[in-house]
A and B are shown apart, each in its own frame.
Chain A
Amino acid sequence: MTAKDVILNGLADAVVEGDEGKCVEFANEALENNIDAYEAVIKGCAHGMRIVSDKYEKREMFVLEILLAARAMQGAVDVLRPYVKAEEIKVTGKVAIAVVLGDIHDIGKNIVKLLLETSGLIVFDLGRDVLPEALQDKVRAENVDLVALSALMTTSMMEMKEDVKLLKGEFPNVKIIVGGAPVSQEFCDSIGADGYADNASEAIRVSQKLISGEGGKKCQQMI
């Protein structure tokens, strides 16, 4: 294993461990050893977050560990960011994420947002209790590729149907993914959404698939 590998693996492991101090140390070490800052972000930080995401899906990690990993990663990214050359950053997909109208439960949405960002997408967070018109405005203004909708309540889940109808009416090419405790694949199909995920990790995979398919912009890593 080369010195570079040791540093990049160390950075990824520090992200997985949620150790912010170690992350900052490895980020500085990467710069001192002339490792490209963008490569350190991608092969160190983002790789670590992918491991965290996989462990979350296998129930080896939980929301707490995701938050710790994200905080640790941010420490490294803050060190590396000034050294990343702008031309290196690849074109990414754009996602608008929201908790639907009538629902203020945003824990799940925030976790999905975090993992979407660390998987290389530009994410516009519209927050919770979001009007369908606000979604429409954002898709129009930012040329969004994917809309991610979350609902925890069975009452608000029904709002997804309205959102899908409105969005597909104006933007037939925009993909829509739905999720949240009461939502199921059957429900997703019944309202005409494009994708469903029953956990945050799966949401990232489905989102990337929806964005990269059918002429969408290929998903790439980013800071």
Chain B
Amino acid sequence: MSADDMSHAERIKAAIDFKEPDRVPMFDSMTWSVNMAGKNLGLIGQKVKDVSFPKWIHNPDIFVESQIKALDRFDHDFVHSRMSSHILTEAMGCREEEPYWDVPATINTAINRVEDWKTLKFPNMDKDGKIPTQLTAIRMLDKELHEKRGDDVFITGFVRGAFTLAVIVLGVERFMFSMIDKPDETRELIDFCNDVSIECIKAQIDAGADHIYTPDPRASAALISAKFYHDFALPAAQKQSAAIRKYKDKYAHHYHICGDTRARWDDLAKIGASYVSLDYMINLKEAKENIGKKTAIAGNMSPAGTLLLGTPGMVEEEGKQMIRDAAVGGGYIYWAGCDLPIDCPIENVDKFFEVPKVYGKYPIEI
């Protein structure tokens, strides 16, 4: 099959089903796409922008236009809709800071004791925080791309993994001690966060999202052991994943976890996610031969070392190696190890999305 014989969705679904599509599917440019807003593209690396990050996320017209410009330029197989680091924390009572040129970040906790989870607000998805804006953006993307263009590109919705959401609303240190001192209440908090996240997921799917990206960075190996992942984070991820797939379909869930995940690959494969994306320090060949046999995987170019600070030549070499290591037999989606740094030079981003079109055609012969 020659490249571009398949539509975006056909390509993604084939890869998730461990079939070889026409070419390696590509995840989207995520928050980097803010550079496609207004005149930002000519201002990469400069302090003053035409469209600031807050302006971008509070104006769905500008936001959606930039996502479509990114899609048209790079032809990745997904488009993104994320409005914040933890879209639900603000709506649950935390405060968010909105930097001029970065993703909004949560700056305080909503509760100080784990047992206070009962006082947490269950957000109204149509009113609270930035959720309504994210839903509007998804509806607009759905209309422009799915309806008007007939393009089945995957619109990506976003919430955090429930474990991570629970850590943010309670605070890292308090949460860590709570797992030891008050495990039952900790599980109740995680479960409440999961219920909130699932409600938000359903709202995004109703708005037109094809799949949901649920990064779970506070469950990473830097913070908790494989045992605590198994006891606390895995059940939450499984519940969230099952809810996503039940409400949409088996292609609808992208789970991401940061750091060195090798010790918990067996558990990651049990989540049930459509695919699991891996951080840059993971050897993709090793991943392909282990977790990659049980679930589709995505990743994992070095975001800072290669995409931000490297050259197009370095991007090309690492991209080729990723395809060489993980693409044969399908079950692989091309992406960075984590979000693309927003100051990546355009030459590197162009090269990043060019590599699968040149070297990622099936059968893989590089």
Contacts and interface: CB of A to CB of B under 8 A. Distances in A.
B105 interface: yes
Nearest to B339: A154
Contacts, number: 70
A63 interface: yes
A102 B225 contact: no
Interface string B327-358: 00000000000000111000000000000000
B99 interface: yes
Contacts of A79: none
Contact of A63 (B176, B180, B342): B176
B224 A64 contact: yes
B101 interface: yes
Contacts of B342: 154-155
A62 interface: yes
Nearest to A151: B304
B46 to A, nearest CB: 12
Interface string B296-333: 00000001110011000000000000000000000000
Interface string A94-117: 000000001011011010000000
Contacts of A184: 304-305
Interface residues of A, number: 28
A173 B260 CA distance: 36
Contacts of B101: 155
B156 to A, nearest CB: 21
Given A67-B173, A154-B303, A182-B303, A107 B102 contact: no
B343 A65 contact: no
Contacts of B309: 186-187
B3 interface: no
B263 interface: yes
B179 to A, nearest CB: 7
Interface in A117-165: 153-158
Contacts of A68: 176-177, 180
Interface of B: 97, 99, 101-102, 105, 107, 172-173, 176-177, 179-180, 221-225, 228, 258, 260, 263, 303-305, 308-309, 341-343
